[in-house]
Amino acid sequence: MSSTNYPPHLPPGPPPQPPIIPPKDGVEQEIIIAVMGVTGTGKSYFIKEVSGISDVVVSNGLHSCTASVQPYSFLHAGAKITLIDTPGFNDTTKTDTEVLADICAWTSLNYRKGRLLSGIIYLHRITDVRMDGSSLKNLRMFQRLCGPGALKNVLLTTTQWSNVDPALGEFREDNLRHGDFWGGLVSKGASLERFMGTRESGLGLINKLMENEPKALNIQYQMVQKNMTLVETSAGKFINEELIALERKHQENLENLEKERQKAVKEKDDEMKEILAQEQAKAREKLEKAAAEKKLLADIHAAEMKKREEAERRREEERERNERAVIAVAAKDISVMAHLKCMFTSYDTRGRLIYDIDDTREFVKDSFPITIHYQFNFLAGIEVCVKTIAEIFDAGMGINNYVKYNGGYYRCKGEGCVKRGSQKFVIFRRV
């Protein structure tokens, strides 16, 4: 009998991807919306106003307020709306790397659970006279986090309209729409909206996003599907490049200050020497800060790489263990008459997955339902039928059989039963 009759052995595939569970069609649909933007633009204010949740902390000073990603849920229009408050980049208390790591941890975890964002509300103060470095950096980070695929679900939203002359606000809004700042994003599908500071205005924005098909962010795809480390993602690369440039800038500044200080020493200009020494101390502090952040990013990368290698090693061990595993069926779980009747079809019984055939303890673990299939082969049937009952138990079943379990195929090759404890077992080995 040719072994080509048997189902093929399944080749080991790529590492299993985390399951993406579709949102449940329950009575309560969940709409998840992230609220992002520079510190102080009004992210927490928006969430507090729209959700009515009094616990949301709104800043009252110059310092950054929201320190970590925080979800807030409330009911609206028959759905559970979850607004995600996020810390901004260029935060006064946390480094960009810490903020990015926090956002990535939240988004990756939720992506693995199948929770995708229906939208992102990206806030910007209409009162801002011009785009400072912080706003530009934030926007660049946002573009990398979001990616072009999710732009249709993005509302670029201006805030604090009550603090600006309406005509001036409109002029700035027009510049935002057509200028370099938001023009590119608008042309690729993002919408420009206004938040007028009221619950009604905020809910209007939410209503627009409720219609959307939830989408994965670029960072979620890169970290979960592509298994990238933080620094390998587009957003992580951007921060790393910024830090390298910043370190270089501070280093050059320090070198120039030293040259000037040497000159002051030569010219015996004590006052200048003192000023330059103070400048050097400040520059050194900035350099150390940039270097520390670069190290933090490198440490995160090293820890993620270690985790990735460990996961790969565990997967490989698991694969090898499964390769060696056999399925054991107790002789008592095979009714000879039923078995003979089913010789040309299939036979339902119970089996155990055994990783170490020499370990008797494995043979007493709980059994689970299995089906022994027979390939239709008249001669094979005859061959088995003519055997005595004892022969069937001793030699296993007809050799033209298989059990499918967990994507693999197992076959009893007629090698006889094994005795473990007081029982005999028929062994199906992986093919």
Ligand X SMILES: Nc1nc2c(ncn2[C@@H]2O[C@H](COP(=O)(O)OP(=O)(O)OP(=O)(O)O)[C@@H](O)[C@H]2O)c(=O)[nH]1
Q: Does 43 interact with ligand X (rule: CB under 6 A)?
A: yes
Among 160, 229, 233, 377, indicate the residue that binds ligand X (CB under 6 A): 160
Extract the tokens encoding 152. Answer: 């249709």
Sign of CA dihedral 203, 114, 71, 42: negative
Q: Which is nearer to Mg ion, 43 or 294 (CB)?
A: 43
| CA–centroid distance for 326 within its chain | 34
CB of 143 to ligand X, least distance (A): 18
CB of 59 to ligand X, least distance (A): 3
Q: Does 58 interact with ligand X (rule: CB under 6 A)?
A: yes
User: Using CB under 6 A as the criterion, what x/- string covers residues 194-233 for binding ligand X?
Assistant: -x-x------------------------------------
Q: Does 23 interact with ligand X (rule: CB under 6 A)?
A: no
Radius of gyration in angstroms for the set of CA atoms belonging to the chain, rounded to a whole number: 33
282 contact partners, CB below 8 Å, separation of at least 6: none
Q: Does 33 interact with ligand X (rule: CB under 6 A)?
A: no
Q: 158 phi and psi, to 5 degrees? A: -90, 145
Among 51, 66, 153, 218, indicate the residue that binds ligand X (CB under 6 A): 66
Distance CA 50, CA 30 (A): 16
**Residues 151-170 contacting Mg ion, CB under 5 A:** none
Extract the tokens encoding 381. Answer: 């049937």
Q: Does 93 interact with ligand X (rule: CB under 6 A)?
A: no
Q: Which is nearer to Mg ion, 44 or 349 (CB)?
A: 44
CB of 169 to ligand X, least distance (A): 12
Q: Does 396 interact with ligand X (rule: CB under 6 A)?
A: no
**Of the listed pieces 41-49, 249-257, 386-394, 396-404, which binds ligand X according to CB under 6 A?**
41-49
CB of 83 to ligand X, least distance (A): 12
Extract the tokens encoding 386. Answer: 């003519």
**Residues 40-79 contacting Mg ion, CB under 5 A:** 43-44, 65-66
CB of 171 to ligand X, least distance (A): 19
Q: Does 88 interact with ligand X (rule: CB under 6 A)?
A: yes
Q: Does 38 interact with Mg ion (rule: CB under 5 A)?
A: no
Q: Which is nearer to ligand X, 106 or 221 (CB)?
A: 106
DSSP state of 117: B
Residue 42 interaction partner, one of Mg ion, ligand X, none, beta carbon < 5-8 Å per kind: ligand X
| CA–centroid distance for 318 within its chain | 23
Whether 103 and 86 have beta carbons less than 8 Å apart is answered as: yes
Q: Does 87 interact with ligand X (rule: CB under 6 A)?
A: yes
DSSP state of 221: I
Distance CA 121, CA 123 (A): 6
DSSP 330-398: EGGG--HHHHHHTTTSEEEEEEEEES-TT-GGGGGSPPEEEEEEE---HHHHHHHHTS-HHHHHHH-S-
CB of 50 to ligand X, least distance (A): 11
Distance CA 183, CA 176 (A): 7
Residues in contact with Mg ion, counted by CB under 5 A, come to a total of 4
Q: Does 95 interact with ligand X (rule: CB under 6 A)?
A: no
Going from the C-alpha of 47 to that of each of 131, 245, 417, the distances in angstroms are 24, 36, 68
Among 31, 33, 34, 44, indicate the residue that binds ligand X (CB under 6 A): 44
Coil vs helix vs strand at 324: helix
Tell me, what amino acid is at 347? Y
Q: Does 42 interact with ligand X (rule: CB under 6 A)?
A: yes
- Residue that has been written with the tokens 């049937």 in this structure: 381
Distance CA 85, CA 35 (A): 6
Residue 351 interaction partner, one of Mg ion, ligand X, none, beta carbon < 5-8 Å per kind: none
Q: Does 423 interact with ligand X (rule: CB under 6 A)?
A: no
Residue 129 burial (C-beta neighbours within 10 Å; 0-12, 13-18, 19+): exposed
Distance CA 220, CA 107 (A): 6
**Of the listed pieces 156-164, 331-339, 357-365, 372-380, which binds ligand X according to CB under 6 A?**
156-164
Residue 298 interaction partner, one of Mg ion, ligand X, none, beta carbon < 5-8 Å per kind: none
Extract the tokens encoding 240. Answer: 């790393």
CB of 95 to ligand X, least distance (A): 14
228 contact partners, CB below 8 Å, separation of at least 6: 222, 236
Q: Does 39 interact with ligand X (rule: CB under 6 A)?
A: yes
Among 64, 97, 138, 229, indicate the residue that binds ligand X (CB under 6 A): 64
**Of the listed pieces 72-80, 157-165, 376-384, 391-399, which binds ligand X according to CB under 6 A?**
157-165
Residue 51 interaction partner, one of Mg ion, ligand X, none, beta carbon < 5-8 Å per kind: none
Residues making contact with ligand X (CB under 6 A): 37, 39-45, 58-60, 64-66, 87-88, 159-160, 162-163, 195, 197
